[in-house]
Structure formats: C-alpha cells, structure tokens
Amino acid sequence: MRIAITGASGYLGNVLTPLLLSNGHSLRLLTRKAPPVHPPDTVEYVYGDLLNNDSLQELVKDVDAVIHLAAVISVDDRPDEKLFFTNTNGTRMLAAAAQQAGVKRFIHLSSVTAYQQAPYEERMDESRPPTTDTRHNYDHSKAVSQAIALEHNGNGMEVLALAPTAVMGPYDQQPSLIGKAIVNIYNGNIPALFPGGVDFVDVRDVAGAIVSALTKGTPGQAYLLSGQWASLVTLAKATGNIKGKPISLPVVPLWLVFSMLPFVRMLAALRGGAPYYTRQSVYNLIYSNKKIDHSKAQAELGFQPRAFTDTLQDTIDWFKQTGAIK
C-alpha cells in the first residue's frame, strides 16, 4: 500500500514508519526539513507544511491512504489562535486534498483530550461529548480537528479517527514530557510529585492500532486507545521497583502548586525556555478520567494494550541504552 504521512518525524511517527516499512508498505512523508539525500527506495519525501496546499496535493497524489499525525502541541494556559488555526485548518486542507485525489482511507490521529473527561470516575467511551475546555487551546483544537476529519468521510474516502491517551514507551528520542518525567524520577532529580495522574498507553500499541486501521474499523468512527490509569505516585513507585531502590516522594498540595505558578513563569522567562509546569498541565493530571474504555478498538481493530509495568520496564531499558538513565 502507498501511504502518505504527516508528522512522521515525531515520537509516534518514528515508531510507526519502521513498522509500516516492515509490513511492505511504501511511504511518502511530509517534511519541513531538508529531506535525506539518499532515502530508501520505499520512502519518498515532500517538502512543505500543513498550510501549503501545493505540498499537500503533491503529498496525497496517487496514494492509497493518508495517516495524519502532525499537530502543534502545547499545554500553555493562554489561548493560542495560531495553534488552533494550524491544527484545524491543516486537517481541513489535508482531508480535502486527499478526498479530491481519490485517497481511499484517511486516518486521523486525535487525542483523548478531544473528549470531555468528567465525570472522572465513570466509564468513558466514544459517546462522550467533545471537550468544553478553553477556546483555542490544544484540547479544543483536537476536538474540532477530529470533527473536521470525520466530516470528510464519504465520497469515496473512508475516514477513521484514533484517540490515544498519554503515550509512553521506548524510542522516545526527544524525549517527551512523560519520558523526561520517567528519566528524572529514576535519576532522583524530582523532589516532589503533583497530585493526580493519567491513562498511559504504549506508543507501540498505538502504532499497531494505526496499522490495523488501514484495513479494519468502521468508516466515519472514532476509537479511543487507552491503556491503564496510574497516578504519578504509582509511576514513581513502579519506577523504584524496576530500579531496585524504593522511590518515595512527597505530593505537593494543589494550593502550593498553583501559588507557585507566577514564580515558575518568571523563572521560565529568565531561562528562556518553557515553564516546568502550567495550570493546564496540572489540570491534565487532576481532571483525567480513570475509566477510559477501549473495548471498541479492541473489538474492531484488534487493539490489545500491554501492561503498564511492561511498558515502563521497556522505557527505562531504552533510556539506559541511550545513556539518559545511569
């Protein structure tokens, strides 16, 4: 199968593309960087971005399927109209170009944050309404982008949306925020933990679900890809078990977390980098659903998430190989 992919250079993309190649697919990747001089015979590059219609048309020409991974990600507290426009209009332009080009299947990578999480202790499935979070933030952009993608189902193109929870696992090259947290907890660089937690899903299982969605699943439908909910305390304890040395860290009360935000922002401004945490990043921990149901993906896509502890073990082993963990 000939497959066009956006966001192939990201964490999930770096896991997905080798899997697709090993299954015999040929790939065309959208890139904003200079493509390799001598790419493999089964990989082609198109220089451009999500808001360049010419590059999108070149990307989707004569392909069987499109996998849309690319998105601007942020946990900033402030509305970001540029982020919102890029994520939503980029999805709209790509889906329209794919449909016009006669693409048969379009897979859109959404997020669990596109859905309303409350009530947090009740089972959550794909029937939950879209998030009512802050207008023009990342979560809002994912909800609208998912709706836009699914609106293009029909007229010869089958559209599926996959919505994973917090992705973790090996091959985390950047690393991601979750990857950094695991490294810092293991290395003893975190003095305390925040309250709350999230549902973690293995990056390899998400990649596998995407491959399955190329031929399985119901067009016009969305699928939640969840693993296991764990608090940061559980994450630290499990990390200590793997390390062979107990890790017990205090949990900072929420009033102190929020009262420190002005100092955290000021420090980030002085350092010239992103703040250690934002109000939104804390909200993601304390307002996360604990019972996210992936039975639909299990039944229709064959999705079988591995155990949280297995993923954590493989993640730590991988970070050891890279030297991030001593």
- CATH code at position 303: 3.40.50.720
Instruction: Specify the pLDDT at position 303.
Output: 98
Instruction: Specify the pLDDT at position 135.
Output: 77
Query: Whole domain around residue 162: which residue ranges?
Result: 2-169+200-228+290-307
Instruction: Specify the pLDDT at position 326.
Output: 81
Provide the domain count of the chain.
Answer: 1
Q: Is residue 312 part of a domain?
A: no
Instruction: Specify the pLDDT at position 41.
Output: 83
Cα–Cα distance for residue pair 272/301, rounded to 1 Å: 44
Instruction: Specify the pLDDT at position 312.
Output: 98
- pLDDT beneath 70: ranges in the chain: 37-38
3-state SS of the chain?
A: CEEEEECCCCHHHHHHHHHHHHCCCEEEEEECCCCCCCCCCCEEEEECCCCCHHHHHHHHCCCCEEEECCCCCCCCCCCCHHHHHHHHHHHHHHHHHHHHCCCCEEEEECCHHHECCCCCCCCECCCCCECCCCCCCHHHHHHHHHHHHHHCCECCEEEEEEEECEEECCCCCCCCHHHHHHHHHHCCCCCCECCCEEEEEEHHHHHHHHHHHCCCCCCCCEEEECCEEEEHHHHHHHHHHHHCCCCCCCECCHHHHHHCHHHHHHHHHHHCCCCCCCHHHHHHHHCCCCCECCHHHHHHHCCCCCCHHHHHHHHHHHHHHHCCCC
Cα–Cα distance for residue pair 314/230, rounded to 1 Å: 17
3-state SS of 224-271?
A: EECCEEEEHHHHHHHHHHHHCCCCCCCECCHHHHHHCHHHHHHHHHHH
Q: Is residue 278 part of a domain?
A: no
pTM value is: 0.94
Q: Is residue 247 part of a domain?
A: no
Q: Cα 174 vs. chain centroid, distance in angstroms?
A: 14
Give the residue among 164, 153, 166 at the shortest CA–CA distance from 198.
Answer: 166
Kindly provide the b/e burial profile for residues 248-285, where b requires at least 16 CB atoms within 10 angstroms of the residue's own CB: ebeeeeeeebeeeeeeeeeeeeeeeeebebbbbbbbbb
User: Nearest 5°: CA angle at 87, between 213 and 179?
Assistant: 70
Instruction: Specify the pLDDT at position 137.
Output: 87
Q: Is residue 133 part of a domain?
A: yes
Q: Is residue 259 part of a domain?
A: no
Q: Is residue 23 part of a domain?
A: yes
Asked if residues 192 and 249 have their Cβ atoms less than 8 Å apart, the reply is: yes
Q: Is residue 208 part of a domain?
A: yes
Q: What percent of the chain shows pLDDT beyond 90?
A: 80
